[in-house]
A = this chain, B = another copy of it.
Amino acid sequence: MAFDELVVSRRSVRQYNEKNVERDKIEVLVNAAMWAPTAGNLQPLHFVVVRDKGVLEKVKLFSPGMPKTAPCVIAICADLEEAKLKGGEFAKKIAPVDSAFAAQNILLKAHHLRLGTCVVKSYNEKSIARILGLPGEMAVLMLIAVGYYDKRPKAPVRKSLSEVLHYENWEGGLKQDE
């Protein structure tokens, strides 16, 4: 699939079929995530991949937005204390942004592999951390549902370029002369 089509045709998928995600594909996804930019090359992120039905069930119990049929969840985590030690308060503050850069690579690469994804940001962090056995200083920054699907969701309505693009300053509209 061409890159432009990849970007525009990616959807948040909330209904998955029963096929699980192959381990080699998971590794391709996480590898893509690792090449996203990371502030100061600190690379604070860890990726905990859940496919075991028992663990999945527990994770879903504490993340109400998680699609019920998701066969695989990738939890993006970060050692915020290590980030702070290496890069100061700023590095700690910026880790969630790093996680989103990494996540977007996962979403696009998954779509490239015909896998669906859905980012879930609302969950009980302490419970998820306990279920995943994370060390105390490790924060759960984002959950991503991954799986195969039968039906691609329709495109959501997007604003037009002229509503969001400004030249030189806020008042500089799209239509002004070059």
Smallest CB gap from A103: residue in B: B101
Complex CA gap A4/B110 in Å reads: 11
A83-100 at interface with B (beta carbon < 8 Å): 90, 94, 96-100
A8-58 at interface with B (beta carbon < 8 Å): 8, 10, 12, 23, 26-27, 30-32, 34-37, 39, 41, 43, 45-52, 55
With known contacts A90-B122, A119-B37, A161-B27, A7–B109 Cβ distance under 8 A: yes
With known contacts A90-B122, A133-B170, A170-B135, A158–B43 Cβ distance under 8 A: yes
Chain A interface, number of residues (Cβ within 8 angstroms): 71
Counting chain B CB atoms within 10 Å of each CB, the highest count among A12, A32, A34, A107 belongs to A34
Is A12 in contact with B34, judged by CB distance below 8 angstroms? no
Cβ 8 A contact of A161, one of B6, B34, B41, B167: B34
Closest 6 CB pairs of A and B: A100-B100, A104-B104, A133-B169, A133-B170, A48-B166, A97-B100
Which chain B residues lie closer than 8 Å to A8 at the CB level?
A: 35
